[in-house]
Amino acid sequence: MKQLFALLRWLLLPLLAALLAFVAGVQLLSDGVTGRRHERGRPAGDRIPAAVVSEHAATQVSAAAALGAATDRQILFGDLHVHTTYSSDAFVFSLPLFQGEGVHPPADACDFARFCAELDFWSINDHAEFLTPWQWSETKEAIRECNAVAGDPANPDLVSFLGWEWTQSAPAGVAAQRPHFGHKNVVFLDTEEDRVPSRPIGAGRGGLFATPLPSPVWALLRAGMVIGDLAAPRPYLDFHRYTRDARALSACPEGVAVRDLQLDCLEGAETPGELFDKLDDWGFRSLVIPHGTSWGIHAPPAARLSQQLEPGQHDPERQRLFEVYSGHGNSELYRELAETVLDEKGQKQCAAPRNGYLPCCWQAGEIIRSRCGDAEPAVCEERVARTRELVAGGASHYSVVSGTRPNDWLECGQLTGEFLSAFEYRPHMSAQFGLASRRPAQGEAGAFRYGLIGSSDNHKARPGPGYKEVERKAFGDAYGLRRDWYDRLTPPSEPLPEPVEPGFAGLGVGFERGASFYYTGGLVAVHAAGRDRDAIFDSLEQRHAYATSGPRILLWFDLENGPEGEAPMGSEVRTRERPRFRVRALGSFEQKPGCPEHTERRLSPDRLRRLCLGECYHPSDRRIPIDRVEVVRIRPQVSGDEPIGERIDDPWRSFSCEDSGAGCEVHFDDPDFTGEHEFLYYVRALQVPTVAVNGDPMRCERDEQGRCLRARACPASGPDHDPNDDCLSRVNERAWSSPIWLRPPSH
């Protein structure tokens, strides 16, 4: 017996020791025990020379005067939607397994805005749900340090605003139980410690990095990230250290005034109404800016902006602006796109292609049809019908049809034939749908009267990267697994001739396909009385602002005959008089390669190469001509029940421009306006075609009717990825004015 116990001890103790060592190793790796916190960094200690800033301003004044536009206000360009790797998703995508560049802390965003993009202003907007108290403290200090370099606060080279992103989503499977409100950026006027919130406010009640997986499985997955890249473990350990810090935080208690909450809890707001209440409790001047609204990656098909006109969910004093365009696409247009229709029993069924829109449930059936081979026609049709039924019922088309590649799906689910649309487009979340929607019983809060702006939504700390159409993965957000990780995580799938039960298989195809719909991003422009912080923020609040798709187009849009004289974009005017409008537009400067000398003197060659990738905003003296001006007229709902499509005239008018680079001026009036009901107008100024990253996302070969026959997507990973292809196609880059609202005096 003693010998048996000795043998067992000799066998079991080493096994137990090995097991304990394995568990300890997994714990150490998954928790990033040796990982580091990434500090905010330090901005370069110099600013853009005052002479350069003055020269840019003088050039603009001269151009405005030549067009007859007002010169008492300067047009300034900025980006109000910028993420650093303090955002958890940006941190993930910075890792080597995603071909990441490594971390980009807030100081990188400061230097990129100042030296690479030469912006006039920007804001930091990392996801609030994932910001730890230490990161929030670092963020505030980084913004103050960036402003400290800017020179005279009355005439700085760059104004840096503090903010965060409130990131709410209701995926398709839970949309009925949880309304979808979408993503909103919160931007504050001030940066002083006693003038900004102590904690960012995220969507939800905490539960950060909660997962339905058991903790040991989740720990094994985190450890596997490190083991899969043992040659370079540091980035993964740093990331796991960050997630450990975040998981240790608890949600703030409900029903407690914001100033009475502890500093180190995760503060959340389930709805926009709760967010507005908390901002009211703080009492600081701020803007709340919806963005990426039509982006189907987070917005379910049933989502509607009009749901946010329900009592308490809209604050017309804070929601003054709407991000119509970003690196995640264009959310401007309302079009009637139907993925499903209801049959006579009220059941969802797959809609047939209509108005140039190809439903993905329909294309799923077509892919199965192409695999029928020698099957009897009736059998084939049954497979097609079953496939469409599964997808129309809510299953992912990528998982129901096995063995597909991005090109197999053609342009399904997309708004086609329009300018750089958001992926898997949601028209009921578009800017036009919101502008046309009304809830009369809610009074002023029953209408969205927002100005239109652009920004980047860049997740690599690069504000305003759309100055040149280069480096689509660095200047945009196209992500993809490194090839060895791709091969590990996406094993080949056999293209079966029948639909399969929905699951997670094939979802990687959706990410590959989505990479074709990331762009270099837009800008916000303001007509400001000065370069200082207050002047810029005042212009944003007054909606004297407009959007561009990246180029620095100069745009003026005015009502000429308001009761008190001229009224600029963003104005609400009460009148019954037949309106007369004037538009002036001047194209952006053509860009020279490389970076200007004053930038090269202020950033080291290594810094220029890593941050700017050797390409900066570097204007020549030649402007790109304006091709045309389009006018959009919207007659908002009166009762709240009118069909939205009947209230939008797009384009209502279109004017060709004979522009050789000196600009374009357009005048128009509206004989239909009688003053009985509210009308609004905004304009688009389109440049002549130039190349753009993912300018034609699926690069289709088309038939005579314009239908896509064969696609050539632009993935960022997988066997079809070409790292040297920026997927350039010609587009009309543009600017969108904020609307002018004409309202009856009796209102």
| Structural contact between residues 328 and 477, judged by C-beta atoms closer than 8 angstroms | yes
Question: What pLDDT shows up at residue 703?
Answer: 94
Question: What pLDDT shows up at residue 208?
Answer: 44
At 699-720, the pLDDT tens digits run 999 999 899 999 999 999 999 9
Question: What pLDDT shows up at residue 216?
Answer: 72
Question: What pLDDT shows up at residue 344?
Answer: 84
The number of helix segments (H) and strand segments (E) in the chain equals 17, 30
Across 213-227, 492-506, 669-683, least confident range: 213-227
Question: What pLDDT shows up at residue 633?
Answer: 99
Average pLDDT over residues 291-320: 95
At 265-305, the pLDDT tens digits run 999 999 999 999 999 999 999 999 999 999 998 899 989 99
Distance, C-alpha 634 to centroid of its chain: 25
Rounding to the nearest 10 degrees, give the CA dihedral for residues 150, 153, 159, 163: 120
Helix, strand, or coil (residue 195): helix
Average pLDDT over residues 87-99: 96
Q: Which helix (H) or strand (E) holds 492?
A: none
Residue pointed to by tokens 């503060």: 267
| Structural contact between residues 671 and 578, judged by C-beta atoms closer than 8 angstroms | yes
Helix, strand, or coil (residue 709): strand
Amino acid at the residue 168: Q
Question: What pLDDT shows up at residue 4?
Answer: 56
Residues 6+ apart with CB under 8 A from 131: 86, 139, 164, 200, 202
Question: What pLDDT shows up at residue 26?
Answer: 55
Write the DSSP symbol of residue 256. Answer: -
Amino acid at the residue 524: V
d(CA 403, CA 12): 46
Average pLDDT over residues 691-700: 98
Question: What pLDDT shows up at residue 504?
Answer: 67
**174 pLDDT higher than 50:** no
Cis amide leading into 651 (omega within 30)? yes
Helix ranges (H only) for 477-587 are 483-489, 507-514, 533-541
| Structural contact between residues 339 and 358, judged by C-beta atoms closer than 8 angstroms | no
At 405-461, the pLDDT tens digits run 999 999 999 999 999 999 999 999 999 999 999 999 998 999 999 999 999 999 999
> Which domains can be identified in the chain, with CATH numbers?
31-208+249-337+417-478+518-552 (3.20.20.140), 340-412+480-516+697-710 (no CATH)
Helix, strand, or coil (residue 78): strand
Across 74-88, 187-201, 243-257, least confident range: 243-257
**73 pLDDT higher than 90:** yes
d(CA 332, CA 429): 9
Question: What pLDDT shows up at residue 552?
Answer: 99
pLDDT grade, residue 345 (50/70/90)? confident
At 114-149, the pLDDT tens digits run 999 999 999 999 999 989 999 999 999 999 999 999
| Structural contact between residues 624 and 551, judged by C-beta atoms closer than 8 angstroms | yes
Question: What pLDDT shows up at residue 386?
Answer: 96
Strand-pair category, 201-203 with 267-269: parallel
Write the DSSP symbol of residue 251. Answer: B
Length of the chain: 747
Question: What pLDDT shows up at residue 43?
Answer: 97
Question: What pLDDT shows up at residue 223?
Answer: 76
- Tokens read off for 568: 């600029």
pLDDT grade, residue 207 (50/70/90)? very low
d(CA 321, CA 407): 36
What are the angstrom distances between the C-alpha of 423 and each of 286, 367, 413, 452, 731? Answer: 30, 21, 8, 20, 17
**687 pLDDT higher than 60:** yes
Choose among 746, 743, 321: nearest CA to 573.
Answer: 743
At 2-40, the pLDDT tens digits run 665 665 566 565 666 555 555 655 565 656 678 899 999
Average pLDDT over residues 382-405: 94
**592 pLDDT higher than 60:** yes
Write the DSSP symbol of residue 164. Answer: E
| Structural contact between residues 588 and 552, judged by C-beta atoms closer than 8 angstroms | yes
Question: What pLDDT shows up at residue 209?
Answer: 44
Average pLDDT over residues 593-622: 97
Q: Which residue has the higher pLDDT, 215 or 77?
A: 77
Average pLDDT over residues 466-478: 96
**503 pLDDT higher than 90:** no
Question: What pLDDT shows up at residue 175?
Answer: 43
- Tokens read off for 382: 């049954």
| Structural contact between residues 549 and 524, judged by C-beta atoms closer than 8 angstroms | no
**Burial zone of 283 (CB within 10 Å; 0-12 exposed, 13-18 middle, 19+ buried):** exposed
Sign of CA pseudo-dihedral 374, 378, 381, 383: negative
Question: What pLDDT shows up at residue 34?
Answer: 81
Residue pointed to by tokens 């907007």: 125
Average pLDDT over residues 584-604: 97
| Structural contact between residues 218 and 184, judged by C-beta atoms closer than 8 angstroms | no
- Tokens read off for 118: 């030469």
Arithmetic mean of pLDDT over the chain: 93
Beta strands in 455-568 (DSSP E): 523-528, 545-548, 554-562, 565-568
pLDDT grade, residue 221 (50/70/90)? confident
| Structural contact between residues 342 and 360, judged by C-beta atoms closer than 8 angstroms | no
Helix, strand, or coil (residue 287): strand
Distance, C-alpha 130 to centroid of its chain: 17
Q: Which helix (H) or strand (E) holds 342?
A: strand 340-342
Question: What pLDDT shows up at residue 343?
Answer: 84
Which of 172-176, 236-240, 496-500, 691-695 reaches the highest mean pLDDT?
A: 691-695
d(CA 306, CA 472): 34
Q: Which residue has the higher pLDDT, 357 or 212?
A: 357
| Structural contact between residues 737 and 682, judged by C-beta atoms closer than 8 angstroms | yes
What percent of the chain lies above the pLDDT cut of 70? 93
| Structural contact between residues 337 and 355, judged by C-beta atoms closer than 8 angstroms | yes
